[in-house]
Amino acid sequence: MKNLTYDEISDINNLIIPAKASCSNADPQMAGSSYSEYVSEAIQEYKKPFCSFDDQLQLLVDRGLEVDDRDFALSCLRHVNYYHLEAYWYSYYKSEKKEHEFEAGTNFSDIWRHYSFDRELRFLFFRAIEKIELSFRTQCAYVLSQRYYSDGKYTIGFDALLDSSSEIARGRKTLNDKIEQELLQSNEDFYRSFKSKYGQVMPPPWILVEMLSLGLLSKCYARTNDVCFRREISRTYDLQPDVLSNWIYQVVLVRNICAHHGRLWNRVIPTTIKHPLSRVDHRSPDFYRLSEENDGKYNGKRLYNTILIIDDMISFIVPENRWRYMAKDLILKYCIDVQRMGFPPDWQERALWLEVN
């Protein structure tokens, strides 16, 4: 199976489900029927009733969850939505998950331990991602200003600088359109002050990069026609331009999960991380590549390799940082099964982690 390209990942929401069933092992009664007919037959009426907090807890107990401290569990349910917590107890269900029965011995304290670990993990990621994001924005502003901005004007139009051919071919908004849209929607005081003084002109790069979302800025970097522009920025992190594009996109995905309080610790990140070419003065990340016979839950697209790229980038920004040390301390504090995060079984014996005492 081929790896998805940057464009294909961006277009994932535009996939169209075929109207006809084509699976060879499909239900014979479904063969030739339209997708809409199949869905209408499969959809059930939603009849789940409202449950009070006490009812929610009793439902969990009835499904086999052990609760040592009922008052504590109720307090948790009052402040963390049942459906939000289900992301953490889902992996504790028996193999027939549709029955929603817990494996024997599963305790509410296990669920809360993973939730608490994940919450602290998101905070830890945010601390690093903030530095990476600010550094990347700064590099984009500096190099863009240096190469394409003079005497208050851009020396090249964004349409020429950004490769928007794929968007035009699909009848979608170009990157230039999206930049203008984000500027129009901006309520930043510094931009309103700029417009009131200079009118509706494209703001200089040092203002522009502060107004674009990290996702859009990463796309602009990836689609820039000027290879020298991309290379000059990627050198800051001792990476090749395509590798930096890949890593920043990975950072964007994780940042969005953290920003929306999503489950992070054993999440599958749906991109394949690119490896940098050989380095002279800096060690390349020791990415973990899983063989096909590995259990699916120890997936190479889980969080371990993302931890490595964040640690690698942050080491260029803050060389004496302790982020990796804090990550290890957090894992050991909560006694987490790190293989479910994609960690290799021998992770503590690998050079990167042997340095962490």
Whether 244 contacts 233, CB under 8 Å: yes
Which residue is it, tokens 């982020």?
323
Which residue is it, tokens 């208050």?
152
Angle in degrees, CA 150, 153, 154, rounded to 5:
85
pTM: 0.80
Least confident of 114-118, 160-164, 262-266: 160-164
Contacts of 343 (CB under 8 A, 6+ apart): 288, 304
Band the pLDDT of 357: cuts 50, 70, 90: low
Taking residues 70-75, what's their average pLDDT?
Answer: 97
Contacts of 95 (CB under 8 A, 6+ apart): none
Contacts of 339 (CB under 8 A, 6+ apart): 297, 298, 345
* pLDDT tens digits along 99-143: 789 999 999 999 999 999 999 999 999 999 999 999 999 999 999
pLDDT at 309: 94
* pLDDT tens digits along 1-32: 444 444 444 443 333 333 333 343 444 343 44
Burial class (CB in 10 A: 0-12, 13-18, 19+), 348: middle
CA–CA dist 192, 195 (Å, integer): 5
CA–CA dist 118, 334 (Å, integer): 10
Question: How much of the chain, in percent, has pLDDT values that exceed 70?
Answer: 81
